[in-house]
Chain A
């Protein structure tokens, strides 16, 4: 059929795990923005949801680190973290191995990906699903871009991965939705956790909303690290979505919430023909 929905959102574990430490009005406004994103996702009547995430050593480690990986299972489990720490109960999430295989075959025409028949979902996928598919009924296809540390896939390859998955989504009979999850500037899990470079974030989001490929791909990782911290490497997931959807983006919510460690973001993007 085609890609029927595209969006991006934050996935920080504090959003659910440290919910009670945030200023309630800020937290509730974020949750409401996630709720509106859920409504728009449901209205697109998807048969499956691709989640492009930036996982944090839940499945992939430095012994054998793929730049790009795609899940290929009928069932996934998460969260891998302590449920009490994350504030999300353990559950099974449906996948669709046949659909995954079709997507992978097509993606591999232009981008080499690893496939994974086992995948323990971490907060990078579980936090968005907690808000967007809270009954865990919609089958997902998890995808991962290594954003943890160098050697990192170049930004232009994250864009190419987006183009490849768009071509793949357009080639299957199902209605496919897509979200990219990650932080913008942030220094998570360090003593700096809570530091947020709002002006850098807003500039990135502006480039993303304009779907300005050249501007999105003009960052260097050295600049990202200096201005946006090691967490900033996760902009690869947002770039991937822009490369897939190719339309204009619409920022629905942005609010720095230091105890959640990120500028909390919810945005959707038109899917260009």
Chain B
């Protein structure tokens, strides 16, 4: 697990339009610059928000990646819950899930 590197990629993407263009053109090539596990690399290149959440990404970074991928807010929340359903609770980080799977505290 290389959560720091995964989050560094999200930080770079959120800040830099050149990185955003490169991600759209050739995500695999771009991600080679980061020291990621195969699982992390696959999750990022597939835009698998649920798995990236479970891997421990900070939500303040992740929610912008979701927006960049065109996900509306309710879809972002749903994707994280789906990630937990598929992979279990977050494995690292502070952004825990404490509510029940079907508990929509904000109606989404």
Q: Which A residues are closer than 8 A to B by beta carbons?
A: 14, 17-18, 21, 56-58, 61-63, 80-82, 85, 120, 148-149, 187-195, 225, 230, 258-259, 261
Residues of chain B within 8 A of A80, CB atoms compared:
14-15
| 5 shortest interchain CB distances as A-B pairs | A189-B59, A194-B106, A56-B60, A258-B106, A194-B105
- State whether A82 and B106 are in contact (beta carbons under 8 Å apart), knowing that A18-B73, A21-B73, A191-B81 are contacts in the complex: no
Asked if A82 and B67 sit within 8 Å, CB to CB, the answer is: yes
Q: Which B residues are closer than 8 A to A by beta carbons?
A: 4, 7-8, 11, 14-15, 53, 58-64, 67-68, 73, 77, 80-81, 84, 94-99, 104-108
A88 to chain B, nearest CB (A): 14
Which of A148, A149, A190 makes the CB contact (< 8 A) with B80? A190
Residues of chain A within 8 A of B8, CB atoms compared:
61-63
B56 to chain A, nearest CB (A): 11
Q: Please report the C-alpha to C-alpha distance between residue A189 and residue B66 in the assembled complex, in whole angstroms.
A: 11
Asked if A191 and B106 sit within 8 Å, CB to CB, the answer is: no
- State whether A57 and B60 are in contact (beta carbons under 8 Å apart), knowing that A80-B15, A259-B107 are contacts in the complex: yes
The interface residues of chain B, by DSSP majority, are classed as helix
Asked if B97 and A193 sit within 8 Å, CB to CB, the answer is: no
A79 to chain B, nearest CB (A): 11
Q: Please report the C-alpha to C-alpha distance between residue A259 and residue B99 in the assembled complex, in whole angstroms.
A: 15
B15 to chain A, nearest CB (A): 7
Residues of chain B within 8 A of A85, CB atoms compared:
64, 67
A238 to chain B, nearest CB (A): 19
Asked if A261 and B58 sit within 8 Å, CB to CB, the answer is: no
Which of B14, B58, B61, B97 makes the CB contact (< 8 A) with A191? B97
Asked if B94 and A225 sit within 8 Å, CB to CB, the answer is: yes
| A-B interface contact total, Cβ < 8 Å | 86
Asked if B73 and A82 sit within 8 Å, CB to CB, the answer is: no
Residues of chain A within 8 A of B61, CB atoms compared:
56-57
Q: Please report the C-alpha to C-alpha distance between residue A148 and residue B61 in the assembled complex, in whole angstroms.
A: 11
Asked if A120 and B80 sit within 8 Å, CB to CB, the answer is: no
**Can you give 15 contacting A-B residue pairs, CB < 8 Å?**
A17-B73, A57-B58, A58-B14, A62-B7, A80-B14, A85-B67, A187-B96, A189-B95, A190-B97, A191-B77, A191-B99, A192-B97, A192-B98, A230-B94, A261-B106
Residues of chain A within 8 A of B77, CB atoms compared:
191, 193
Q: Please report the C-alpha to C-alpha distance between residue A58 and residue B63 in the assembled complex, in whole angstroms.
A: 13
Residues of chain B within 8 A of A258, CB atoms compared:
105-107
Residues of chain A within 8 A of B60, CB atoms compared:
56-57, 148, 188-189
Residues of chain B within 8 A of A148, CB atoms compared:
58, 60
- 13 extra interchain contacts, Cβ-Cβ under 8 A, other than A189-B60, A259-B106? A18-B73, A57-B11, A61-B11, A189-B58, A190-B53, A191-B80, A191-B84, A191-B99, A192-B97, A194-B107, A230-B94, A258-B106, A258-B107
Q: Please report the C-alpha to C-alpha distance between residue A21 and residue B106 in the assembled complex, in whole angstroms.
A: 10
Q: Please report the C-alpha to C-alpha distance between residue A258 and residue B74 in the assembled complex, in whole angstroms.
A: 13
Asked if B106 and A120 sit within 8 Å, CB to CB, the answer is: no
- State whether A187 and B107 are in contact (beta carbons under 8 Å apart), knowing that A18-B73, A21-B73, A80-B14 are contacts in the complex: no
Q: Please report the C-alpha to C-alpha distance between residue A259 and residue B59 in the assembled complex, in whole angstroms.
A: 16
B9 to chain A, nearest CB (A): 11
Residues of chain A within 8 A of B81, CB atoms compared:
191
Asked if A195 and B105 sit within 8 Å, CB to CB, the answer is: yes
The residue in chain A whose Cβ has the minimal distance to the Cβ of B64 is A81
Q: Please report the C-alpha to C-alpha distance between residue A189 and residue B61 in the assembled complex, in whole angstroms.
A: 9
